[in-house]
Amino acid sequence: MAGEPALSVRGLDKAFGGRPVLAGVDLDVERGQTVVVIGRSGGGKSVLLKHLVGLVRPDAGTVRVLGEDVTRYTSAQWTGLRGRVGMVFQGAALFDSLTVGENVAMGLRVRKRLPADEEEALVRDRLAQVGLTEVESLKPASLSGGMKKRVALARAIATDPEVLLYDEPTTGLDPVMADVINRLIRELQSRFGLTSVVVTHDMTSAYFVADRIAYLHQGRIHAQGTPDEIRRSEDPIVRSFVEGRSQGLAGVR
């Protein structure tokens, strides 16, 4: 089906322990586009992202990923889509009992067994794409925060995904490293035509990587538009978020 968005969320509701986190989220992400979801911490951004990879199941609403209705998919049904949808976790989530090389190769091994030398070359290539060399045999514990994020990125692109989801990719990094990650996100998108969803509250990052920005507020998409539209938005709620002001936002002290 041509023209169908790569990711499509309709009327998504999710509550945890009776507390609604998402209440009627509607969001479309066109193929090859990068959409940045911004919003306050604890506002359900990560939960929204996890719906797109089947880590969380919706209470109501529908989720379509790459043309498939995954709303009620079990983890077994997801298997076919795994590898086509990658995710970079907030804390990198590297397997700390394995080396960097094994981490990157992890997703490959389940799908097709490559000969050892081909696998090694592919791992080296993916690590080089994120600007890392000679780190294959290190353990994640000995890496810096920025390196961990990049290894996580290399692991996510190892299976040549069509969709890549980033959960707070620049959180906890110094501004220079954050810029490196932002450039990588852009580069991956332009080189491989990846569809990306980036969840962040870092506005610098959002303006830099986004084709479109969606502002998640009180469980729904409050506003969306191009970075310029968001920057020029007159909406008081959007304004106070992008400018980082606590006045004018309900429930903030």
Q: Interface with other proteins includes 94 (CB under 8 A)?
A: yes
Q: Which helix (H) or strand (E) holds 85?
A: strand 85-88
- Over the window 106 to 145, marking each residue x when it contacts other proteins by CB under 8 A and - when it does not, the resulting string is xx--xx----------------------------------
Given a contact cutoff of 8 angstroms between Cβ atoms, the answer to whether 107 and 159 are in contact is: yes
Q: Euclidean distance between the first and final Cα of the chain, in Å?
A: 48
Residue with smaller CB distance to other proteins, 28 or 102:
102
Of the pair 44, 227, the CB lying nearest other proteins is at 44
Q: How far is the CB of 222 from other proteins (least distance, A)?
A: 27
Question: Is 83 a binder of other proteins (CB under 8 A)?
Answer: yes
Applying CB under 8 A, which of residues 4, 69, 96, 125 lies at the interface with other proteins? 96
Query: By the 8 A CB rule, do 177 and 145 touch?
Result: yes
Stretch that binds other proteins, among 31-39, 77-85, 190-198, 244-252 (CB under 8 A): 77-85
In the complex, minimum distance from the CB of residue 95 to other proteins, in angstroms, rounded to a whole number: 6
Does residue 60 bind other proteins (CB under 8 A)?
no
* Least gap, CB of 152 to other proteins (angstroms): 8
DSSP line for 70-129: -TT--HHHHTTTBTTEEEE-TT----TTS-HHHHHHHHHHHH----HHHHHHHHHHHHHH
Nearest to 139 by CA among 177, 107, 103, 90: 103
In whole angstroms, how far apart are CA 238 and each of 38, 126, 134, 168, 226?
10, 37, 44, 19, 13
Residues that bind other proteins (CB under 8 A): 50, 53-55, 75, 78-79, 82-83, 85-87, 89-91, 93-96, 106-107, 110-111, 155, 159
